[in-house]
Structure 1
Amino acid sequence: MEASNVSDLMFLKDHFVRSEVFCDKFILQCYFNVDDVIGVFGTPGNSEYKTEKWYFTSQSGDNDICMQHGYFGSESFSSFTFTKVSLDVKLNEKLKLPSENIKLNLMKLANQVQLVMTLIIEKSTFPTLLALRDTSKDLRYFVVKNGLYCSPIEIKVHANTIQCTYNIDDQITFPCSETQSLKKWLKKYCPKHVTIEKFSCDSDNFAKMEDLKAFLLSFKTKMAIENLDLEGKSELEFIELMRYLDEKNLKRLKISFSGDHDNNTNHCLMLDQITETAHWKHAVELILEGSKIAVSIRKLNHFLKVTAFLDVITVENVVFLKHTLLPSLLPRNFNLITPTHSDLQSLAHHIGCPVVKKTNGIEYNQWLFPATKFFEILIHKTINGCTCIEMRHRNDKSQFL
């Protein structure tokens, strides 16, 4: 459709604002100057290179009407496109503009509090968010009522900082390393009995362990966690920290021994005390990293999944795990690596002769046992000469090597 003057444009604008029926897009070709339009409709609500947009509130209140000006070929040939836009699209476009160009219909925003607050929260720092929540009772009630409370995802202790990553409304994530703000948030705003998805501590690179203990002791109840990652050189360091953490919701325990990075020591990390803790007994998945970790194989049999580099694994250990894991009603998956040599001949005497297969240049010794789910044992040499022992349940034979 073509228009010869601004009055035609004004007529269409009034029509679309009043009308409840609207096509997806309406394009009007014009031959007059855009300055004449600005004289009638005012400064555009959004202006980019050779493109201007005006927004008008529809009488239905469901959407706004956007009138966009552009050019076809020569700049003397203008086009105006009318479309319906939702408030969030309009608001996001306005937030991209310099502050002096922002013109919002505040009366309409009053009916879109949750949208506005979510956009504000997305652009707020952690201390700002806490201050915002303390502004008034009504604002705090709104935030809690609409589920926009802070929920911790991960607490990471590293390089002399206690950093927490939190989410808001299950979509927005931010880091926070301000201890005082973190304490205030956890104490006042988190739901009771909150469980943190992951707590990781690198004690080698965190010299202020007393500060960490004081931080954890400042809460009335122990901090509940799902995943616990510990890195250091001493079992005592791990034990001391675990005393301040609740174990009831623990699913995965990861222990990384950093002492094996020092080539001048033969120190081996013995996990005698940790295996007696409630954290060890509650976890269903275990990860042990480091080439000098020693733990009794009998302390592993309750885990569903184990990935570990152990100092020594004997034939008796393999036989014990085979008899323990095979009848399990729950699927087990063990991946054990050791620098020691595996006595395959002695092992074959206890559990039978393996089937030898070669895949991608690697020779595998495979045992297959019928059970509720098929149970497989695979033993092979790794690239660096270590022995890898895999034990796992499978649904059927087609899943095997």
Structure 2
Amino acid sequence: MTSLNKMPDIVLSAIIENLDYRSLMILRKTCHDIRNFIDDSIPASSITEIQLNVNPEQVVLEFMYSESVSQEKLYSLCGQEAFDLFWKDFEIILKHQKLILKSFSVTLEYRNGLNKLEASVRERVNLRFLSQLKALLEPRRRPLQVEKLDLIMGDQEKIMCVLPYIDADKINEIMIYPGPKRETVVFPLDKVVETEQWKNAKKLATSNFVVVEPIEKFTHFDNCRIFMDTISVEMIQKLKENLLFSKTLKSFELNHRPHYQSPELTHIFRTVFDGSFQDDVYEDCWFSRIPGDNEHALVIRSCYYSWITFSRREWFMIKPNYERFN
């Protein structure tokens, strides 16, 4: 029987192309000839999702081959050798990642109640990790292709170690979460909102922080969920003007300070919108007709948890129940 390393290259390539990533790495360790062949040919892996979870003790690397098959590896950070082992393995994964990832997630674990020394150690670990990750992502000839990017980390500078090195033409969804902090924090994004990745993405989800950038930096998303400290007539008017002609708008959710039944909120909506109506779910909704479109209207509604939502709705669903403002 002919051994693998004695087979013609075309036969060996056909075998390798049918292996998942785990099997490929097992095969790579069988002998030097096979390892060299795999490293030279760089077959594509079958990985669809990658998750990195970092804390001062370890890095957890999890990747999925399909919706039901996954693999998890833990790397201790208690020594340079273990740290280097993780990056060696991860570099190999990235080298073979030629297909678009459905999801790429980087989590820098956050804990409340740390003393200054513990917080300092955690910050050093995070910065060291992100510096190495950037060093792997930045020089790639083709940026890492990702559909959904989840970044769970504490500030904009950390985000900028990852986001600019994702393929701007492939990214569809961005999720940003600073971690489970006790209070909602202000989270500047002035550098993030200028990236091509941000401008090209269609869906944005944020949590546990307040945005301070101009509202226009968010209105290109088809789906958007953000927190703002306060709202005003001017802001809602600007949002309406930006969203009015968006044919792809699905939902724009805005968390705000005024209670959903407050006179202040009612005044804002009556000032900005053409009329109001009631539906089966929300007591009051407001609408504006879309110029040149007789079939749809831009609708805003408010709910119990201080969220207001913009969406497009078919006009026939509103027409029987609406009240037009003077």
Output the TM-score relative to the length of structure 2: 0.67
Checking the alignment, whether the CA contact within 8 Å between 1:374 and 1:393 is kept in structure 2 is: yes
Match of residue 163 from structure 1: 61
Checking the alignment, whether the CA contact within 8 Å between 2:300 and 2:309 is kept in structure 1 is: yes
1:262 to 159, 171, 182: 182
Match of residue 273 from structure 2: 351
Checking the alignment, whether the CA contact within 8 Å between 1:202 and 1:232 is kept in structure 2 is: yes
Matches of 1:123 and 1:190, distance apart in 2: 10
Unaligned runs of 5+ in 2: 1-10, 75-85, 111-121, 322-326
**One-letter amino acid matched to 1:262:** R
Alignment of 1:82-161 (within 5 A): 127-131=25-29, 136=34, 149-160=44-55, 161=59
> CA distance change for structure 1 residues 292 and 346 in 2, over 3 Å: closer, same or farther?
closer
SS at the partner of 1:374? strand
Q: CA RMSD in A?
A: 3.9
2:254 to 336, 348, 362: 336
Match of residue 37 from structure 1: none
Shift of 1:376: 3.6
**One-letter amino acid matched to 1:202:** T
Alignment of 1:352-391 (within 5 A): 352-357=274-279, 359=281, 362-367=282-287, 369-370=289-290, 371=293, 373-382=295-304, 384=305, 386=306, 388-391=307-310
SS at the partner of 2:231? coil
Checking the alignment, whether the CA contact within 8 Å between 1:358 and 1:364 is kept in structure 2 is: no
Runs of 4+ in 1 over 6 A off after TM superposition: none
SS at the partner of 1:210? helix
Matches of 2:235 and 2:250, distance apart in 1: 16
SS at the partner of 2:65? strand
> CA distance change for structure 1 residues 128 and 239 in 2, over 3 Å: closer, same or farther?
same
Shift of 1:331: 3.7
> CA distance change for structure 1 residues 352 and 156 in 2, over 3 Å: closer, same or farther?
same
2:234 to 313, 316, 319: 316
1:182 to 90, 104, 108: 90
Matches of 1:348 and 1:201, distance apart in 2: 43
Unaligned runs of 5+ in 1: 1-112
Checking the alignment, whether the CA contact within 8 Å between 1:306 and 1:333 is kept in structure 2 is: yes
Higher relative contact order (CA 8 A, sep 6+): 2
Deviations for 1:31-83, whole angstroms, at most 9, x for unmatched residues? xxxxxxxxxxxxxxxxxxxxxxxxxxxxxxxxxxxxxxxxxxxxxxxxxxxxx
Shift of 1:255: 1.1
Shift of 1:291: 4.7
1:196 paired with 2:101, answer: yes
Matches of 2:251 and 2:31, distance apart in 1: 46
> CA distance change for structure 1 residues 322 and 158 in 2, over 3 Å: closer, same or farther?
same
> CA distance change for structure 1 residues 267 and 395 in 2, over 3 Å: closer, same or farther?
closer
Match of residue 106 from structure 1: none
**One-letter amino acid matched to 2:200:** H
Deviations for 1:216-261, whole angstroms, at most 9, x for unmatched residues? 42354142322111123322222233344343321111111337x2
Match of residue 194 from structure 2: 276
Structure with a larger share of its residues in strand: 1
Deviations for 1:301-344, whole angstroms, at most 9, x for unmatched residues? 21111122322222222222222222223344212221235532
Deviations for 1:338-371, whole angstroms, at most 9, x for unmatched residues? 1235532243133233124563xx5223325253
Matches of 1:365 and 1:395, distance apart in 2: 14
**Bigger radius of gyration among the two:** 1
Checking the alignment, whether the CA contact within 8 Å between 1:228 and 1:253 is kept in structure 2 is: yes
Checking the alignment, whether the CA contact within 8 Å between 1:294 and 1:312 is kept in structure 2 is: no
Give the % identical residues: 17
**One-letter amino acid matched to 2:101:** I
**One-letter amino acid matched to 1:226:** E
Checking the alignment, whether the CA contact within 8 Å between 1:310 and 1:338 is kept in structure 2 is: yes
SS at the partner of 1:197? strand
Checking the alignment, whether the CA contact within 8 Å between 1:247 and 1:278 is kept in structure 2 is: yes
Alignment of 1:61-80 (within 5 A): none
Deviations for 1:155-204, whole angstroms, at most 9, x for unmatched residues? 22213415241428x985434554422322432x343xx43222222234
